[in-house]
Chains A and B, each alone.
Chain A
Amino acid sequence: MKLLNHTLSYLSVILLFVIGLWAGIFYINMIDEIHDSIDDGLDNSKQLIIRKALVDSQTLTKQFFHERNYKVKEITAQQAKGYTDTYIDSTLFMENEQDYEPVRILKTVFMAGNGRYYQLDIVSSMVEEDDLIEDLFYALLWLYGIILATVLVVNNLLLRKIWKPFYQLLDKLGKFRLGSNDSFQPPATRVLEFNRLNDSLEALIAHTKETYAGQKQFIENAAHELQTPLAVSISKLELLAENEAATEEQLTEIGAVMETLQRMKRLNKNLLLLAKIESGQFPEEESVSINNVVKDVIPMLEDMAAHKGVEMAIVEEAELVVNMNPSLAEVLVTNLIKNAIVHNTAGGVVDVVTNASGFSVKNTATGHALDAGHIFERFYKNGSSKNTTGLGLAIVKSIATHYGYTVSYSYANAHVFIVQMK
C-alpha cells in the first residue's frame, strides 16, 4: 500500500470515531436546547392562557385539546396543593400526519377568578427525534465521505507533489548499481527531512563505493603481486626437474606440484583480468567484427575440441560489428566457446551463430539444465571439474555488463548462451 493511502486508511478509522463522538455530544446538546426553547414557549403560553382565563370564563370549559393547544380541568384544592409545574414528553394523535407524533406537555395548576383550582395542560409539537437522528446520520455520512474524498484528492495532488523528491530518490536508488560508473545524484528538495535523507544516502553510498573500490583494488593488487612469486616457483621447479639425478618418482611429484601451481596461476590471471575489466582498464575501443573474432578463435580451439571429439560449426546469419575493446571481444567469444567444448560430451557439437544483434553458443547437453541463477557467479562450478577455474563465465558476464550487453542462458536439450549486443 502506498504511503499516502496508508495514512488515509488510519485517518478513515479515526475520523469515524471522532465524528461519531462529536455527533453524540452535538445531538445531546441540541435536544437540550430544543427542550429549553419549547419549554420557554410553553411557559409563555401558560401566562397568556391564565391571564385570558381570568377575564374569559369560557376558557375554563375547554376540556380537550381539539383545535387548541391547551385543555383545562377542574381539580380540588387538595389536589392543587403542592402542585409544581412539570414538563413531560408524550405523544399526541396528529390529524395531518394521521399518526401519533411526539409532543411536549406542560402541566400546571392555577386558581381562576371564581376561586376554584384548575389543572392546565399546554401542548407543543416536538421535533421527531428519530427523524432528527436519521437526518443527522445522513448528514454526517456525507461529511465523512467528503472529508475522506478531500483527503484522498489532497494526498494525491498536493502530497504527491511534496513527496515527489522522495519517489525520485526511490527510483534512483532502485537503478543504482555498485560498481557502475554513474554517480549517485539525489533529487534537489527544500524539505529538511528529505535533505537529511539525501545527505545520509550520499554519505552511505560514497562510503560503500570507497569500500568497494578498495576491495577491488585489493583483489587486483593481490593478484598482481602473486604473479611473480608463482612464476618464480614454477620456474624453480622447472630447473629442479632438469636435475639429472632426479628419479622418476621425484619428477612425478614435481609435476604434480607444478600442475597445482599452474592452476593457481590460471586462477590468479583470471582474477586479475576480472578486476581489470571491472575497474575499466580496457579503455581502447574500436569497431570489432564478432564474425571475424569467432573465425579467429575457432581454429585455436580446434585441437582441444578434436581431442574431446567435439565438432564445431559456425553459422553467420548476419555481420555483427560492435564497438568494443578487441582483446575483450576475443576473451568474450573464447570463454563461451571454450566453455562449450569443456562441458561437452564426446561426439557432441558446438554451434556458434552470429546475427545482426548478437551471437549464441550452443553445445550438446550432458543431461539437465544448469542453474541459470548461479552459473555466472564467480567460482560457481557445475560438477567436479577441478581444472576449470570457475571464472570463465564470470568474466563473460563482467565483459557483457561493462558494455551493457545482456548474456543469458537457456536450455532446450542443449545449453544455449546468448549474448545480446545491440
Chain B
Amino acid sequence: MKVLVVEDEDDLREVIIRSLQKENFVVEAAADYDTAMEKLYTYEYDCILLDIMLPGGSGLKILEQLRQEKEEYHVIIISAKDSVDDKVKGLDLGADDYLVKPFHLAELSARVKSLVRRKKMNGDNIIQFNNLSIDTVSRCLHVSGQEVSLNRKEYDVLLYFVLNKNRVINKTSLAEHVWGDHTDQSDNYEFIYSQVKNLRKKLKDAGAEAEIQAIYGIGYKLTGVETA
C-alpha cells in the first residue's frame, strides 16, 4: 500500500509518515504543490493525504487536476480550517474524507485503512484479525464463526482497536472517536474504562485471539494472543 502525504508542516508530516510506516504502508511525502503534482504524475498511490493550504498552490487545485487526469484516486483532506465550505468543496471535488487538524494518529490510521479497504477490496466489508471477523455493514462481530453480541459503543471501540491493532491508543483519542468531541471537558476518561472492561470480558469469554492491554497512564493496545 502506498500513501502520499502532502503536508507543508515538517513536524506534522514527519509524525504522519512515522505512524503510517508502523502500519506497514509505503509512505512518500511532498511539502508543496509542485512536488506533490510531480509525484502524482509519476507514481500511483493507494491513498493521498492532502493538506489544503500549501506553498505554491491550493490542495483543492490538486484535487481538480486529479479529477481531470486520473481514473481512480483516493484522497483524505487534512485541513486546519474547520469550515463547512471547504469541506463541501473538497468532497465535491472527489475527496473521500475530510479530517480537521489537529487529529489523533490513531484516528488518521483508522480513516486511511477504512478508505483503502472500502476502495481496494471492492466492497469487501469484513475485517479479519486472527479469529475475529468484523462485518462493517451489519456491525457484527464473529469469533471463530460464533456471533458475539456487542452494544454500539463496544462495537465502535473494538473496530477502532482492530483498525489500530498493535498500536498504542490514548484515552482521549478513543473517547473522541467513540463518544465524540463532547468528552473534552470531562473530569477524566474513566467512563471509558467500564466499556473497555465489558468488551475485554466478552472477547475473553468468546475465546478471541485478541486481547486489550492497558498501557499505564496512556490508554490501551489491542494485540493478538495465541489461544490454547
Contact = CB atoms under 8 A, between A and B. Distances in A.
Interface string A25-64: 0000000000000000000000000000000000000000
Contact of B15 (A230, A232, A252, A385): A232
A299 to B, nearest CB: 10
Interface stretch (B26-34, B58-66, B175-183): B175-183
Name the residue in B9, B104, B106, B216 with the highest tally of chain A Cβ atoms < 10 Å from its Cβ. B216
A383 to B, nearest CB: 12
A307 interface: yes
Interface size class of B (residues with CB under 8 A): 35 or more
Given A297-B182, A342-B185, A241 B102 contact: no
B194 A238 contact: no
B68 interface: no
Contacts of A251: 215-218
Interface string A284-314: 1000000000000100110110111000000
Contact of A228 (B101, B184, B218): B101
A228 B9 contact: yes
B15 A387 contact: no
A327 to B, nearest CB: 9
Nearest to B11: A232
B19 interface: yes
A224 interface: yes
Secondary structure call for the A interface: helix
A85 interface: no
Contacts of B218: 238, 241, 251, 254-255, 258
A242 B105 CA distance: 12
A258 B217 CA distance: 9
A150 interface: no
Contacts of B104: 234-235, 238
Interface in A316-350: 334-335, 338-339, 341-342
Interface of B: 9, 11-12, 15, 18-19, 22, 80, 84, 101-106, 153, 167-168, 170, 172, 179-180, 182-188, 190-192, 194-195, 215-218
28 contacts: A224-B80, A227-B80, A228-B11, A228-B12, A228-B101, A229-B11, A231-B101, A232-B9, A232-B12, A232-B15, A234-B104, A234-B170, A236-B15, A238-B19, A238-B168, A241-B215, A242-B167, A262-B170, A266-B185, A301-B182, A303-B179, A304-B186, A304-B191, A335-B185, A338-B182, A339-B185, A385-B187, A387-B188
